[in-house]
Amino acid sequence: MRTAFLATVAVALLAAPPAQAHEGGVDAKGTVQVVTAERITIETAQGEKSFELTPATSFARAGSPARREDLRPGERVVVHARERNGRLEAIQVRAGPARGAAPTR
Protein backbone atom coordinates (compact mmCIF):
# COMPACT_ATOMS: atom_id res chain seq x y z
CA MET A 1 0.00 0.00 0.00
CA ARG A 2 2.76 2.45 0.97
CA THR A 3 4.76 1.60 -2.16
CA ALA A 4 1.75 2.37 -4.36
CA PHE A 5 1.28 5.73 -2.62
CA LEU A 6 4.94 6.67 -3.03
CA ALA A 7 4.85 5.65 -6.69
CA THR A 8 1.77 7.84 -7.25
CA VAL A 9 3.44 10.82 -5.56
CA ALA A 10 6.62 10.32 -7.64
CA VAL A 11 4.63 10.21 -10.91
CA ALA A 12 2.69 13.34 -9.92
CA LEU A 13 5.89 15.24 -9.15
CA LEU A 14 7.55 14.18 -12.38
CA ALA A 15 4.51 15.14 -14.44
CA ALA A 16 4.09 18.58 -12.81
CA PRO A 17 5.55 21.56 -14.65
CA PRO A 18 8.68 23.00 -13.04
CA ALA A 19 8.03 25.74 -10.50
CA GLN A 20 9.41 29.19 -11.24
CA ALA A 21 10.48 31.76 -8.69
CA HIS A 22 8.41 34.42 -10.41
CA GLU A 23 6.60 33.95 -13.69
CA GLY A 24 8.07 35.99 -16.52
CA GLY A 25 10.90 36.98 -14.22
CA VAL A 26 14.46 37.80 -15.11
CA ASP A 27 17.38 37.01 -12.83
CA ALA A 28 20.82 38.43 -13.51
CA LYS A 29 24.05 38.33 -11.56
CA GLY A 30 27.02 40.50 -12.21
CA THR A 31 29.09 43.47 -11.15
CA VAL A 32 27.60 46.90 -10.48
CA GLN A 33 28.71 49.39 -13.12
CA VAL A 34 26.44 52.33 -12.26
CA VAL A 35 23.69 52.87 -9.72
CA THR A 36 21.48 55.97 -9.65
CA ALA A 37 18.13 56.79 -8.07
CA GLU A 38 16.38 55.55 -11.22
CA ARG A 39 18.53 52.69 -12.52
CA ILE A 40 21.14 50.04 -11.82
CA THR A 41 23.43 48.78 -14.58
CA ILE A 42 25.44 45.60 -14.09
CA GLU A 43 27.99 43.74 -16.19
CA THR A 44 26.95 40.09 -16.60
CA ALA A 45 28.60 37.19 -18.40
CA GLN A 46 26.22 37.98 -21.30
CA GLY A 47 27.00 41.71 -21.35
CA GLU A 48 25.64 44.85 -19.75
CA LYS A 49 22.07 44.90 -18.38
CA SER A 50 20.13 47.84 -16.97
CA PHE A 51 17.18 47.69 -14.61
CA GLU A 52 14.73 50.40 -13.60
CA LEU A 53 14.56 51.02 -9.85
CA THR A 54 11.14 51.80 -8.39
CA PRO A 55 9.87 52.69 -4.91
CA ALA A 56 8.93 48.99 -4.58
CA THR A 57 12.48 47.72 -5.33
CA SER A 58 13.98 46.12 -2.23
CA PHE A 59 17.67 45.89 -1.41
CA ALA A 60 19.52 43.37 0.74
CA ARG A 61 23.13 42.82 1.77
CA ALA A 62 24.20 39.45 3.12
CA GLY A 63 20.58 38.63 4.00
CA SER A 64 19.85 41.89 5.85
CA PRO A 65 17.89 44.90 4.58
CA ALA A 66 19.98 47.49 2.78
CA ARG A 67 19.55 50.70 0.78
CA ARG A 68 20.36 51.67 -2.78
CA GLU A 69 22.96 54.08 -1.44
CA ASP A 70 24.86 51.13 0.06
CA LEU A 71 25.72 49.74 -3.40
CA ARG A 72 29.07 50.60 -4.98
CA PRO A 73 30.50 50.05 -8.46
CA GLY A 74 32.51 46.83 -8.63
CA GLU A 75 30.29 44.93 -6.16
CA ARG A 76 28.77 41.58 -7.11
CA VAL A 77 24.95 41.58 -7.05
CA VAL A 78 21.98 39.48 -8.06
CA VAL A 79 19.01 41.34 -9.53
CA HIS A 80 15.55 39.78 -9.60
CA ALA A 81 13.38 41.66 -12.08
CA ARG A 82 10.31 41.50 -14.27
CA GLU A 83 9.62 42.81 -17.71
CA ARG A 84 7.00 45.55 -17.67
CA ASN A 85 6.07 47.83 -20.56
CA GLY A 86 9.16 46.79 -22.53
CA ARG A 87 11.64 47.52 -19.74
CA LEU A 88 13.26 45.53 -16.96
CA GLU A 89 12.04 46.59 -13.53
CA ALA A 90 14.09 45.48 -10.51
CA ILE A 91 12.08 43.74 -7.81
CA GLN A 92 15.02 42.94 -5.55
CA VAL A 93 18.76 43.67 -5.60
CA ARG A 94 20.91 41.44 -3.38
CA ALA A 95 24.56 42.13 -2.60
CA GLY A 96 27.06 40.04 -0.67
CA PRO A 97 28.83 41.18 2.49
CA ALA A 98 30.42 44.62 2.36
CA ARG A 99 34.06 44.65 1.33
CA GLY A 100 36.33 44.16 4.27
CA ALA A 101 33.49 42.91 6.47
CA ALA A 102 34.40 40.16 8.88
CA PRO A 103 32.71 36.83 8.10
CA THR A 104 29.83 35.97 10.40
CA ARG A 105 29.58 32.65 12.18
* CATH value at residue 37: 2.40.50.320
Does 7 fall in a domain?
no
Does 1 fall in a domain?
no
Does 63 fall in a domain?
yes
Number of domains in the chain: 1
Does 102 fall in a domain?
no
What's the average model confidence in pLDDT over 60-83?
96
What are the E-state strand segments in 9-68? 25-35, 39-44, 47-52, 58-61, 64-65
- Dihedral of CA atoms 76, 80, 83, 86 in degrees, nearest 10, equals -20
Q: 6-15, 49-58, 63-72, 93-102: which has the minimum mean pLDDT? A: 6-15
Does 43 fall in a domain?
yes
Does 47 fall in a domain?
yes
Does 59 fall in a domain?
yes
End-to-end CA distance of the chain, in Å?
46
pTM: 0.71
Burial of 6 (0-12, 13-18, 19+ CB in 10 A): exposed
12-28 pLDDT per residue, tens = 434 433 333 445 699 99
Cβ-count burial 61-79 (b if 16+ within 10 Å, e if not): beeeebeeeebeeebebeb
Does 86 fall in a domain?
yes
Q: Which structural domain, as residue segments, surrounds residue 74?
A: 24-95
